[in-house]
Every structure is written in structure tokens, then in C-alpha cells.
Chains A and B, each alone.
Chain A
Amino acid sequence: MPDRELAVTQRSQAQLVARRFRRHRLAVVSLAVLLALVLLAFVGGWLWKYSVVDLTSDESVPPSWDHPFGTDAAGHDTFAQVLRGTQISIGIAVLGALVATVVGTVWGATAGYYGGRLDTVMMRIADLVLTLPFLAVAAVLGHNVGGSWWLIAAVIAGLYWAYVARVARGVVLSLREKEFVEAARAIGAGDARIIFRHLVPNAFGSIIVNATVLVAIAILLETALSYLGFGVRPPDTSLGLLVSDAQTAVDTRPWLFFFPGLFIILIALTINFIGDGLRDALDPQQTRVRR
């Protein structure tokens, strides 16, 4: 395959997707806001004069030039705290969603492709995971494995892969009846080749959209866990933990509650809108040119 030529045509298909995505204004705005937030959290947090552990002499001051988001009772700069919290929350969400998506896709595609008894067994296992009370299990696991952000990501992935598997299986079930799958079999393709070269790429649209929804769900789940005290532990922090710590200060020092809350809402909302935009942009029904 001539790489240069392939690159050209692939870009042209990506361009089609990009063009349709750009038409979804809310998604474009959301993408810009999310990118700004990520940039702010990861670059801004590094540049900002206070770090998450710094204790300043200003205690419980409202937002000012020196402390844009104010400070808490111990003198922590809330801006620095929120930036660090955003880093952790996004990290957990993205890693959790990624692992859940990969595991779920392979699981669901395999079950859907082979069908029959294997499908039944695999999907009953997934159903079992789906019936677990998410928050309770996550709380127990989070409590026992404790603290570190990637373990929380793993807990989230461990609970949500089954959800992805259901989606992937559904898509593969409809795809495997397509003639191009039979055509692949007719030229002698093995099962692995059919699954990973033909079925999964064609299910990619649905899967990526689900992944964005998962990221949003994971942000909220992490928030809930940390709020309940089973997530990230001090001195490190996350958006959920910040909200949790500030719950008693809602009336007296609203900035402690307001800013992390705003960030949670912004991240979850923008990711959902981006997911909507992606779904429309990747929809093959819209790819079809009228002839």
C-alpha cells in the first residue's frame, strides 16, 4: 500500500467527518471549552504561583486578584486546588472510559460474532456486572484499595465495561449479517480478522460516542465517590473531594463550593455535547451521497 496515497484518501474521509462535526455548533463550542479547561488544568496548574499543597497566610478570603477562586480555612488557594482536581478527575475519567471501552468492545464483539452458547455465557456475565449496585460496589472497592487515582479509574472501568459490551454486541450482531462479512469469509478470512479488521472498525462510530458518554459518567461517578469519602484522599484532591469538603461552607464561603461544582458541570456537559456531535458526524447515513 502506498502510504502517501492512503494518507491522502484517509484524510479526505476524516475531512468529511470533520465537516459534519463543525456543522454541529454546540459540539464545536463544547470542544473549545473543554480544550480550554484541559489546557488550563494541565498547563495553568503548572504555571500558577500556588500549588495544591501550598498554605498561604490568607485564610478564607473571597475571590480576589491574588486568589481568583478565594481560599479555604486552612489557607489553600482554591484556584490551585480546582486545577489539580480537574487534572485528577479528567485523568480518572479518561483512563476509566478507555479501559472500559477496549475491554467492553472486545468482549461484546466476540460474543456478538460467535453467537450461540458463547454469546449467552458472555452476556450473562456482563448482565451480572450490570446488576451490581454501582455506587455501593465502587464505594467498597474504593475504600479497600484506597486512594490512588488510577485504582479508582480501574474500579470505574471494571463496572462499566459491561455496558460497552452490550452496545458493541448489538452493533456487531447487525453488522455480522452484512454481506461484506460473508465476503470476507468467502475469501478465507479467519474469525479474528473478521472481528478486528471488519466488524470493530465499522462499529467504531457507536463505540466512540459511547466512550464520550462514559467519560462524562466517570467524572460524575468519581465525584460521587470522592464526595462520599471513598475516592481520592487528601492531600491530593479531585473535583468531587473539593465539593465534598465545601459542603458545610455553602452559606458562608460559597466560592469553595461554586467553582469546583462549575467545573464538574462544564466538563460533563461539554463532553456530552461533543458525543452528540460525533454521533451525527460519524453516522454513515449522513455519509451517503445522494445519487
Chain B
Amino acid sequence: MTPVLEVADLRVEFRTDEGRVPAVRGVSFQLSRGEVLGIVGESGSGKSVTSLAMMGLLTGSSQVAGSVRLGDTELLGASDKELSRVRGQSIAMIFQDPMTSLNPVYPIGYQIVEAIRAHHDITRDAARSQAQRLLGVVSIPNPSERMNNYPHELSGGMRQRVVIAIAMANGPEVIIADEPTTALDVTVQAQILEALHTARVQTGAAMLLITHDLGVIAGQADRVLVMYAGRVVEAGTVEEIFYAPQMPYTLGLLGSQPRLDLRRQRLHPISGAPPSALHLPPGCPFAPRCPLAAPVCEADEPPLVATGTGGHLSACHFSDQLVGVAPGDLFRPISQDTPL
């Protein structure tokens, strides 16, 4: 199956007063038609920078290298004109804060109509009725009245639905959703995830879903990339990642998560904190926090390689030792900040 989107060796560096900060260090993946690829990682892992870099939305002091191909089009280094044609038409973006995408001075109906007419040669009336239909699809009650509302008259959840309606407007091939529900309450999150699902099914778009929430990933993604310190450290199907992780970091994440479906039990945190991108350790960036770390881990950064089964990739020197291991077998139920 041909991928709709192909990212190869994407690298992003920021220049700061303190020096060069490598935020993304060689990320590669393919997104197939209709698939949902989840990118999960904690703050500073580079997951959001990856999506912004792909769309040419990083500004100022950043340097982007590598390749991002949408079908036959190379997006990195493409002209602004070409990029704006792609954005909104072939690729739609949904951010954590819907106000990034909405213009506060226009009614939402007008904004959807403009989004449609920017890429399609249809009459205003036709666009209007289509906009109304889209608002209905994302479950906004009374779409015809809501069309005249300004963004500030809507709640956060309603605004995010409007953004999803705009994203759907041109039948994109790819929807990039960057923490689309992080700012919302859980009951509203459930509504938005539902709307996203509808949007995806109706347009047939593939989706890149970026989030820190393992639960959202578990429910939505087909395949998952786990990012740490600017790299993909594990990639696989959602079942592989959740039921047979081959990278200690993934295992640690799962062991740190309090569970609604399990009776109270001791959590198994990962000691320490992620490294600053400014001072990455020489070998594996996870080594300082890893219970499996050996001298080789501090010397060589392990490449992302197949672990034997199908498309399951892991960047760990000892991934073969993780077969059948539970978080509690590896991580201690500590409460200190760092192992003393």
C-alpha cells in the first residue's frame, strides 16, 4: 500500500542563546491511507515540533532538514504558495487551542465558507449549505443559527468542533491533530474524539494523532510511535506497544499510569527526568533513567531496528530481554526523585 505521507530523517534544530538545541533528531515514518498513527511522548519529546516542522510552521531560529513527502510533493523547502495550497486542502491541522485556527473577528460560518471557497470554485450559497452540513456532522446543534456566532460566543469544545468542520471542508488526505483534546474536560474530550472519528470516516483521511494521553492513543490509534528526547524510540501496532513493549521507556510509561480499571496498586515511576535537549547524554538518552542500562548504553545510541516481529521497531540494546516483562518487574515502586 502506498503511503500518503512519508517522513524521512526529519531533523529540527533551534538556535538559542545557550547553543544549538536539537529538538527532533531523525524521525522517519509512513502514514498509509485511512490509518491513524499515534505519536505519544511527554513534554519536550519533540512530538509537536515534528508536526509543526512537517507543515513548515516553524519560524525564526529553527533549521529543518530531511524529507516530508505528500504523495509526489516534497513539502520541506516548498514555496509558501505551494504550502498554503497543501495546508487546508490536502493536509488539515487541528491544534490544542482552537483559537490558533479561528479568526476572532469573523463568524464561524463565514470562516468555513472561506475555507471551502479557497480551494473550490463554487458559489457562496453552495458553500454555505455545505458549511451547515459540516457543522451538523460534528454534532453542533442548530447549525444554521450557529453559523452566525463568533468564536468567542462558543465554548472550547464547540470551537474545537468548528475547527474539525473546517478541517473536513476540503476532504483532506491527512489530518494532523496535535493534542486536540488536551485543554478540554473529559466529557467534552469524548465528544471531540467522536467528532474526529466521524471526520476521518467521512473524508477517508489518514490521521496523525499527537498526544501525551496513553488512553486516547489506546482507543484511537492503529499504529503508535513513542518519542523520547527527539527520537522515535519504539514503533509498532497499538497492541504491540501496549501489550508487548520492547523499549524500557514505553514499559515505564505504562507502569506510571494510574488506571481507572484497576484496583489501587503501587505505581512504578521512571526515576529522574527527561534530559534537556541542550545537554543530551552521549549514548542512549534514556540510559540515565533506565534500570537495564549497561556501559554500552552510555557509549552508543541504539538505532531504531526491527525486533523480530513484523513492523515492530525498538531503539534499545536489550529489547530482547523485555519479552513478557511487566513494568513492576523492571521499575521499582519508588517515591524518591532520583535513586539514592
Contacts and interface: CB of A to CB of B under 8 A. Distances in A.
Q: Do A and B bind each other?
A: yes
Interface of A: 20, 23, 286, 289-291
A20 B18 CA distance: 11
B30 interface: no
B17 A23 contact: yes
A16 B17 CA distance: 12
B66 interface: no
Interface in B1-58: 14, 16-18, 21, 43-44
Contact of B278 (A20, A23, A286, A290): A290
B276 interface: yes
Contact of B44 (A23, A286, A291): A291
A289 B21 CA distance: 11
16 contacts: A20-B17, A23-B17, A286-B17, A289-B18, A289-B276, A289-B278, A290-B14, A290-B16, A290-B18, A290-B21, A290-B276, A290-B277, A290-B278, A291-B43, A291-B44, A291-B276
A49 to B, nearest CB: 49
Given A20-B17, A286-B17, A290-B18, 13 more contacts: A23-B17, A289-B18, A289-B276, A289-B278, A290-B14, A290-B16, A290-B21, A290-B276, A290-B277, A290-B278, A291-B43, A291-B44, A291-B276
Contacts of B278: 289-290
Contacts of B43: 291
A291 B46 CA distance: 11
A291 to B, nearest CB: 6
Nearest to B274: A291
Nearest to B273: A291
A286 B276 CA distance: 17
Nearest to B275: A291
Nearest to B14: A290
A22 B256 CA distance: 44
Contacts of A289: 18, 276, 278
A289 B44 CA distance: 12
Contacts of A291: 43-44, 276
Nearest to A20: B17
Contacts of B18: 289-290
A20 to B, nearest CB: 8
A290 B18 CA distance: 9
B252 to A, nearest CB: 19
A75 to B, nearest CB: 56
B25 to A, nearest CB: 15
A23 B18 CA distance: 12
A291 B43 CA distance: 8
A72 B14 CA distance: 61
A290 B43 CA distance: 11
B240 to A, nearest CB: 30
- 8 shortest A-B CB distances, which residue pairs? A291-B44, A291-B276, A290-B21, A290-B16, A290-B278, A290-B277, A289-B18, A290-B276
Nearest to B277: A290
A171 to B, nearest CB: 25
Nearest to A23: B17
A289 B16 CA distance: 10
Contacts of B14: 290
B42 to A, nearest CB: 11
A20 B16 CA distance: 13
Nearest to A19: B17
A291 B229 CA distance: 10
A289 B277 CA distance: 11
B19 to A, nearest CB: 10
Contacts of A20: 17
A289 B279 CA distance: 12
Contacts of A286: 17
A276 to B, nearest CB: 17
Interface string B274-298: 0011100000000000000000000
